[in-house]
């Protein structure tokens, strides 16, 4: 894996309650408000992750459809908004079928003129980082591309470079 890919890779850490988290830390040159908009505005979010509609306030639910060609989109997922504190923190549960929800959070912190983004997923018991790490790595690379006005990363190239890190 290249040093650049390794620097952007997520890591498994333990939360205060003992649960395993897959955590990514990315630094962007754009200010917090710009990154927040790219994460939460339905039209901007659709450019890198998925289109959503519904009640985005805490306790509300939205329907999310992934928009990238590589993952095929698929049926809508129900997303429960657990926390929304603009422009710094968003925490959601994504439900697909009868399985455990994917507990996700994004925290944005000013860093000079830019932003530090911390993305976390609670790893359900028995769930390997290899099952989610390369995908989140790719989506966060897509977010960076949208923010920078750069070309979108290639899924196959990202998978080949990042997957070994998450199997370790």
pLDDT computed for residue 98 by the predictor? 75
Check: CB of residue 141 under 8 Å from CB of residue 148.
no
pLDDT computed for residue 62 by the predictor? 94
C-alpha to C-alpha distance for 88 and 22, rounded to whole angstroms? 19
Which residues of the chain fall below pLDDT 50?
Answer: 1-2
pLDDT computed for residue 69 by the predictor? 55
Q: How many domains does the chain have?
A: 1
pTM across the whole model: 0.91
C-alpha to C-alpha distance for 104 and 95, rounded to whole angstroms? 11
What residues make up the domain containing 158? Answer: 3-167
pLDDT computed for residue 97 by the predictor? 72
Classify burial at 147, counting beta carbons within 10 Å of its beta carbon; exposed 0-12, middle 13-18, buried 19 or more. buried
Check: CB of residue 94 under 8 Å from CB of residue 64.
yes
pLDDT computed for residue 72 by the predictor? 56
CATH of the domain at 88: 3.30.530.20
Tens-place pLDDT, residues 115-140: 999 999 999 888 889 889 999 999 99
pLDDT computed for residue 2 by the predictor? 46
């Amino acid at each position: 894996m290249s040093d650049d890919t390794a620097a952007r890779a997520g890591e498994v850490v333990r939360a205060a309650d003992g649960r395993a988290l897959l955590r990514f830390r990315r630094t962007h040159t754009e200010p917090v408000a710009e990154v927040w908009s790219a994460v939460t505005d339905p039209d901007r979010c659709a450019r890198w992750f998925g289109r959503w509609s519904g009640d985005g306030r805490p306790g509300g639910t939205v329907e999310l459809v992934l928009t990238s060609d590589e993952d095929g989109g698929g049926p809508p997922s129900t997303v429960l908004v657990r926390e929304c504190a603009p422009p710094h923190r968003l925490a959601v549960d994504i439900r697909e079928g009868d399985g455990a929800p994917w507990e996700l959070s994004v925290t944005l912190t000013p860093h000079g003129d830019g932003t530090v983004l911390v993305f976390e997923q609670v790893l359900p018991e028995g769930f390997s980082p290899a099952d989610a790490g390369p995908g989140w790595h790719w989506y966060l690379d897509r977010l960076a591309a949208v923010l920078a006005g750069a070309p979108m990363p290639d899924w196959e190239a990202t998978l080949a470079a990042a997957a070994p890190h998450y199997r370790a």
